[in-house]
Amino acid sequence: MGIAMNDRFDLTEDQRLIRELARTIARERVAPHAAHYDATEAYPEASIRAISDAGFYGIWLPEQYGGTNLGCLALALVCEEIAWACAATATQYLDQPLGGLPILLAGTEAQKTKYLPRLATGELLAAYSLSEPGAGSDAAGLRTAATRKGDRYVLNGTKQWCTNGDHADVITVFATVDPKKRAKGVTAFLVERGMSGFVVGKKEKKMGIRASPTVALHFTDCAVPVANRLGEEGEGFTIAMQTLDITRPATGAMAVGIGQAALDAAVAYARERQQFGQAIAAFQGVQFMLADMAMQVHAARLMVYHAARQVDTGIRSNTYEASMAKCWAGDAAMKVATDAVQVFGGYGYTREYPVERFMRDAKIMQIYEGTNQIQRLIIAKELLGG
């Protein structure tokens, strides 16, 4: 049973090979470190090195920029396998395309040539900074200001919840040239580590994905060359949303990985745990719980793979399907992980077993890359044509 159910999906030979490699790396080189990194809240150095050594950083990039051009479904497959082992490490991994895709989507040839080949190898690490203390779900309500002064923009303000912001070499930062314009004022910039006036702020202490650093970014008269602007003024919001349409299936895939890990653990425990003279797997109440958990994970995987395949076939108006995949998978991960803790009983509430970590990690899947409430608004808007 378990994660091998993936084999029933119609994958290309390249996709099967990348999934098998990701599964091997995840189980042999990521999973053994997961509990330690979670407990210490330390950056998952060894796990990231394993992912980089395997060449996974380049799968979303075209060959001309040093990538292998395997596409969105391959990215989702890798994210799922890594998240099965460690959701924090998977979050770090997905941050590379999240921060780099805006360059691929909207960058000049000079920008692409400068950054993308080194992102493909992992020589450079990327991040994506959209949220602010007062602008989370309201992504158009940015207050970080970008003022044009000659051949530079001067940035002032604070960004919040930036994954990998303290380790990134280049960050796609969204600021506004005019807050009154809301979405039409949002503009994207490539901010490099060490730029004058840019400092990394507080690192958050989080419930889950503890090994994935989440930080604030502070800009005080930070001079960013015009050459580091992505696209034109006012195009930033579109760039941000186009990026999320591509990465949301992979975010959903991380949720699938957590859900599958929780299901696998619950099935194994139910077979072993003896109560009333028999394994608890013999009780229909437990069997029904496991069946419901399996259906949640399976449905989530189908939705994620469908949305990812749409991206790979060139569909760029898949907001509806991408939002559904991310939303369903996030809710499923939380439900399945919570039920896994229940199957384990009191043991599930302790750190002796990993299901309590799965439950903590699953919660963020309903929050980041657009809360599941926002996903429902997006889905309703697409349904109603608003």
Report the alpha-carbon angle 196-199-204, nearest 5: 170
Distance CA 19, CA 7 (A): 10
Which one-letter DSSP state was computed for residue 359? H
φ, ψ for residue 293 (rounded to 5)? Answer: -60, -45
* Residue of 235, 321, 369, 382 with catalytic role: 369
Residue 27: both structure tokens together: 């189980």
Contact 181, 247 (CB under 8 A): no
Closest CA to 330 of 370, 294, 292: 370
Contact 215, 160 (CB under 8 A): no
Whether 369 is catalytic is yes
Distance CA 140, CA 202 (A): 24
Contacts of 272 (CB under 8 A, 6+ apart): 279
CA dihedral 84, 85, 91, 96 (to 10 degrees): -100
Q: Which DSSP helix (H) or strand (E) runs through 188? A: strand 186-192
Tally Cβ neighbours within 10 Å of residue 60.
27
Residue 96: both structure tokens together: 């590379």
Closest CA to 102 of 235, 193, 192: 235
List, as one string, the DSSP characters of 297-315: HHHHHHHHHHHHHHHHTT-
Active site residues: 369
